[in-house]
Structure 1
Amino acid sequence: MALVLVNRKEFRTLPLAVADLTQTQQYQADYGALFAALVVVMAPMLIAYLFVKDRLREAMLAGAVKG
């Protein structure tokens, strides 16, 4: 959705920048740059998950209780 709505480079999200990086490297792949970009994109999500995993598990278990 963001790929369709965003047409200026300064408003692109990080996943769109990674997709753009893969498109510019169509015939020669720089795997080091690609994997570094993927780590930069994934790191905030993993860090956030580490902080909220217990609350997430409790919320899922609380919703599964019949009563």
Structure 2
Amino acid sequence: MGSIKHYRAFQIDPDGRVFGCINLVCDDDEQAKREAATLVLNQRIELWRLDRLIAQFDLPQPVACQ
């Protein structure tokens, strides 16, 4: 059985400043990425484990109307 790992999903405002942090406990980096991706609502997310940046999730681009 693998060990669980602790991650932090930092919420980033439009000016690039951290304004919140969500702690995640996951089995591995892939599970942490999936969970962090669901947090992107109206802010960017940076996923970290200790001092290692795992992934960045930007806001979805607006859909162009035709």
TM-score (norm 1): 0.28
Give the structure with higher Rg (CA): 1
TM-score in terms of structure 2 length: 0.28
- Of Structure 1 and Structure 2, the greater strand share is in 2
